[in-house]
Structure 1
Amino acid sequence: MRRARGFTLIEVLIATVLLAAGLTLAFATITGATGATRHGEATAASNEHIRAVEGFLRRRLAGARAVSFQIDPSTGQAMRFAGDAERMRFVSDLPDYIGRGGPSVHDLRIQRMASGDGVRLTLGLVAAQPGDATAAVDREPEVLAENLRSVEFHYRGVGEDGKPAEWQDDWTTTEQLPLLVEIRITGEDGKPWPVLDVAPRLAAAYATGITR
């Protein structure tokens, strides 16, 4: 009667190596799939945040009112829209789900992060008051986006020929609304957000004297 032949040491070693290689490949595949899923989820969340911020800003700027929120002490004129490279102020209605809603002075600011790396975009809100809205801020400024590489504000009005003028970094004609407002944002990763160009609906009408 023949005795059953067992595995040799070489065969056991080969089997062990193959098993280890298979497990390593399976682990790498699972790790890669998990990383891809997490990256996809992070990208989706980032894109959703970008859409939410830009959608909010678009609606508020498009609905900007030709309402005085402050009197310019140097000229005595009513200020209806004030903007420079780092700050923008205007009156627009808030939806009811944000506090009590109604017309409020929107105070958009570009601020340097405390760490010194990057900037953030904040929004302060003040209830609009007749004539001069210099009341205290209703709440602490909200951070719309942070850890940004850069944010730029640009404004465009009407030239002397009645056509759109060149873009400028400062809106000095504070008694009027600009025809166009542009916001350019670059994320922390260096990728630019979609350029936000908004035309306040009342700007053209107010510029031609239709509304007061």
Structure 2
Amino acid sequence: MRINKVTTAGSFDHSHLRGFTLIEVLIAMTLLSIMMVLLFTSLKICADSWERGESKITDVNEMAVVYNFFQRDLSIAKPLWKDLPAEEEKSFSFQGSSQSLQFVSAFPASAGRSGLQMFSLNLSEENNEQVINVTIVPFIRIAEGAKLQKEEVTLLKHVSDFTLSYFSSANEISEGTWADEWLNKEALPRLVKINIKLDNGIYWPAMIIDLKVTGTTDNANLGTESTADINQPESFQ
């Protein structure tokens, strides 16, 4: 009887210590998996939102650069005649088609490149994509053998569509018309409209540039002046 009492007294009740059941473990793992999925989904949404924001900023910056170029340089285009040798036919400096444009303008003083410049703008293909290129050369006839200071820059890449149109009217009162080209004229158009579409399907708002000088045939006498004189922007302020 004594031994039985000791055994009874030394026994330990394990009824209050129990582990997790298999169902509880599975439920805990399921909840943890759901939390991880929600966490990674939130991170992906944040990353996508950041990427879209960066892409939007890039698009806005590109649009601002292109618009500033046209507003700064095209708006002050000069109604000049090309300085050609006597045996060649005289032609007006401003020539525009639906996808190309040539005009004469002056860089601002901060550009570090003085004098009038000839801008040639066109849509071309590079590395299997369409780009808008700008070529800039001085608006003078250089001496034979002299090196021409030529600069070529890409204004915009990933271009799907690029069209130009030109507006003119006989006077401020009469109703004007838009044309797809401005070739072999003797004056500048009043307005130039630029439409651009990118490869990503985004259409830019149409840019309408108001030319500050509306040249007429009265400007023909400028073609008789020496290039040394007309190559100074101050004479046209």
TM-score (norm 1): 0.84
Q: Say if 2:18 is the partner of 1:5.
A: yes
Counterparts in 2 of 1:124 and 1:94: CA distance versus 1, 3 Å: same
Residue 171 in 1 paired to residue 196 in 2? no
Q: Shift in Å at residue 18 of structure 1?
A: 0.6
CA gap of 1:56–1:8, structure 2 versus 1, over 3 A, is same
> Quick one: distance in 1 between partners of 2:87 and 2:201?
40
> Does residue 207 of structure 2 align to residue 200 of structure 1?
no
- Aligned counterpart for 2:169 among listed residues 158, 168, 175: 158
Q: Residues 13-32 of structure 1: matches in 2 within 5 Å?
A: 13-32=26-45
Of 104, 123, 139, 2:134 maps to 123
Deviations 1:94-139 (A, max 9, x none): 1345452432001111113442x5x2111000111169xxx97533
Check if 1:81 corresponds to 2:90: no
Q: Give the whole-Å Cα distance in 1 for the aligned partners of 2:172 and 2:112.
A: 43
Unpaired runs of at least 5, structure 1: none
Instruction: Map Cα deviations across residues 125-157 of structure 1 (whole Å, 9 max, x no partner).
Output: 0111169xxx97533421101111100011122
Segments of structure 2 that go 5 or more residues without pairing to the other structure are 1-12, 223-237
After TM superposition, the score normalised by the length of structure 2 is: 0.75
Q: Is the 8 A contact 1:156 1:168 kept in 2?
A: yes
Change (3 A) 1:200 1:87: same
Equivalenced residues, count: 205
CA distance in 1, matches of 2:30, 2:134: 61
Q: Equivalent pairs: percent with the same residue?
A: 25
C-alpha contact (below 8 Å) 1:95/1:102 kept by paired residues: no
CA contact (8 A) 1:72 1:79 kept: no
Which structure is larger by alpha-carbon Rg, 1 or 2?
A: 2
Q: Which of 42, 51, 56 matches 2:55?
A: 42
Which residue does 1:95 correspond to in 2? 108
**Alignment correspondent of 1:52:** 65
Which structure carries more helix by proportion?
2
Residue by residue, what CA displacement relative to the aligned partner does 1:67-89 show, whole Å, maximum 9, x if unpaired?
22355999933413111122211
Aligned partners of 1:158 and 1:164 also within 8 Å? yes
